[in-house]
Structures are given as C-alpha cells and as structure tokens.
Amino acid sequence: MIVQDVIRMLETLAPLNYAEDFDNVGLLVGDRTNEVTGVLVTHDTLEEVVEEAIREDCNLIVSFHPIIFKGLKTLTGKNYVERTVLKAVKNNISIFAIHTALDNSITGVNDIICNQLGLKDKKILIPQKQTIRKLITYVPLAQAEELKLALFESGAGSLGNYESCSFSYRGTGTFKGNEQSQPVIGKPGQLEKADEMAISVTFKRHLESKVLKALFENHPYEEVAYELSTLDNLNQHIGMGMIGELPVPQKTTDFLKQLKQLMNTPLIRHSPIIKNTISRVAVLGGSGSFAIEAAIAAAADVFVSADFKYHDFYRAESKIVVADIGHYESEQFTKTFLTDYLSKKITNFAPALRGSRVVISKTNTNPVNYL
C-alpha cells in the first residue's frame, strides 16, 4: 500500500475539491508513491507528533489541521512550522491534511458534533454553491440507453437524495466529415442527418474526470459533442455547519451544562439566555463567527461553535444563544473518527493488515490551557 492509496480513501470520505479556498489541504510533505509502513492520525502536526510517528514506525501522518498554511520562504528551523517540516523530511515521513474538506463533508466534523449531542433531522447549515455540474451530450438513439447507464455508473445523475436522474429529448443532428474523418453514420464528405437523443445529467464537481472518461469510452462517435456548465443550485450534502433537533426540548441551562460535559470542555462562553427551552441546535466545528447570521436565519435556538470575539456575542441580537466551547474542543473527536475510518478501509484494502496499521496519536496538541 502506498501513500496515494490512503489519500484515495480519505478523498472518498471528503473530496479535497470542496475544501475552502483559503485552506491548504492534501499531501503537504512527502512522496505519494512511498510505501506506507503505518499511519498516525493527529489533530495537529507538531515536532512531538513527528517524533511519535518515528517511535510508532508510521511514515504517514494524517492530520486534521495543516502544518503548512502559508507559503514557506525559508526552511531553516526558525519557527515551529519549519522545525516540524524539517523533521518530517529528514525522517522520510509524509504529512497529509484534510481540514475544511472534512468540515464541508456531510459525514464530517459537524456531523460528529451532532451525533455527540444526539441531534436528529440533521441538515447542512450553509450549503456550498457551484459544486454541481451539468453535462449535455448528443448520441444516436440506438446507443442512448447504454451511454446513460455508463454515465450513471460513473456517478452522474446524482441529485440530493436521488440517483439515476437525467433528462432526454429527441432531435436531429447534422454533420459532414472531411477526408480524414471516420464517421459512424454516413460517409466522409457527405452532409448527414441522424436521429439523436440529447442526454442531460448532473454530477458532483469532484467526479468530472470520471464522468468524462465514461462519456468518451462509451460514446460511439469519433468526435463527441458535449456541453459542461456549473449550476447555482445549493448542494445539500456539502457545506459548512449543520443544524438539527434535540430528541426532546431541553431547558437552556440544562442543555449548556450537558454540552459542557458531552464536548469535554472546561468552560463555555455564551451570550445571554433569551428563552427557557431550546430544541433546534446549529453547530460548526472550529472558528464559526461567520455563521452566526446563518444560524439565526435557520431558526436555531442555540449556535455551538468556537473562537467568538467580544463583539460577536452582540451579534446574537437576542435571537439566539451563541455558545463558544473552544476550538480544539469542537474538533477533538475528529481524530478518533478518522482513525476508525482508515482502520476499516485499510483492513478491506488488505485483509492481512490489522488495526495496528493505523495509530491514533496520544500527543495533546491543544495550545490553549485553562486554570
């Protein structure tokens, strides 16, 4: 098994195409063709984590946060980022970061928080835009169904909770090939007419190369005519934050006490309590101040996130309770989640390999301490 095999497993869970533009995800250090001796899963990659990987004989670190966030102009060891990267390079250890790709996954960071809090009827809080593509192509009637099925198998035709979605209509195509052409219908140099079917399918942006491969391999024409466009439809399966319902409405103070316990945080900073009971909860792992208004618009009673500044609490506008549980605390279960996911995937990939192949880091990387 090589590094690229593990990357492929992680991209199935959280395609890197959907990471935020400001982020730096993917393979940050190392060669994707290196054979993997072991995988160490961590929340942050620090020098201590690289040393732990060396002790555990893991030459691939899967990190939630990227150690390289901005461009490195030097690599002299003058700060913790450069020292970590140098240690990894010297010991031939690869580093992969997943960060906002997992934040935006419907089964990622925010789903983990929802499950921890026991929320039901979960939905994406801020669905991502321009992640749905549309393909239109034209094919002879006799091959239309075969091509459509091939496109479905490649992942096209998926829309929300539905699969095998398409729209087709009949028409007449015209073409005239030159002397070098090899037309399936008619002869070179002659104007031809053909009964054709126009097939339209949507697909998720990260599947584009796979969908086009299926199109070209299964279309009978020498030259395939097709159109690609990006839709403005919101993608209900990709985006920041989630919102869900408590199984039973709770007193606000009881919820906050339970939140503190379930999220294993030493304190919660929150805006004023504006009503006695709550039932609708919005969550967003990591820094979530940008989503306060979205949580209000979604009629959430409380918004659970982190890194709120003083004036962010005013933005609650007596419409919602804003609860800051701490950055690390909001993402802490991600490490266990990724370890379990990779353990199962790798066992399926190579049955001879066992759970020891994937190791959860024991290093506490939370930089915030409390008295």
pLDDT in tens, 336-353: 999 999 999 988 776 555
355 band by pLDDT with thresholds 50, 70 and 90: very low
Tell me the torsion sign for CA atoms 260, 264, 265, 269: negative
Residue 195 has which token pair? Answer: 């009964």
Task: Please check the confidence at residue 195 and state whether its pLDDT lies above 50.
Answer: yes
Q: pLDDT tens-digit profile of 301-338?
A: 999 999 999 999 999 999 999 999 999 999 999 999 99
* Residue range 174-199: mean pLDDT, rounded: 91
pLDDT at 127 over 70: yes
Model pLDDT, residue 184: 85
How crowded is residue 55: how many other Cβ atoms within 10 Å of its Cβ?
Answer: 10
Q: Which residues is 242 bridged to in the sheet? A: 124, 283
Which residue matches tokens 């009503």? Answer: 275
Average pLDDT, integer, range 259-279: 96
Distance of CA 176 to the CA centre of its chain: 45
Report the 10 Å Cβ neighbour count for 181. 14
43-96, pLDDT tens digit by residue?
A: 999 999 999 999 999 999 999 999 999 889 999 999 999 999 999 999 999 999
CA of residue 70 relative to chain centroid, distance: 21
pLDDT confidence of residue 357: 85
Nearest to 330 by CA among 308, 298, 359, 301: 308
Q: Count the neighbouring beta carbons within 10 Å of the beta carbon of residue 1.
A: 16
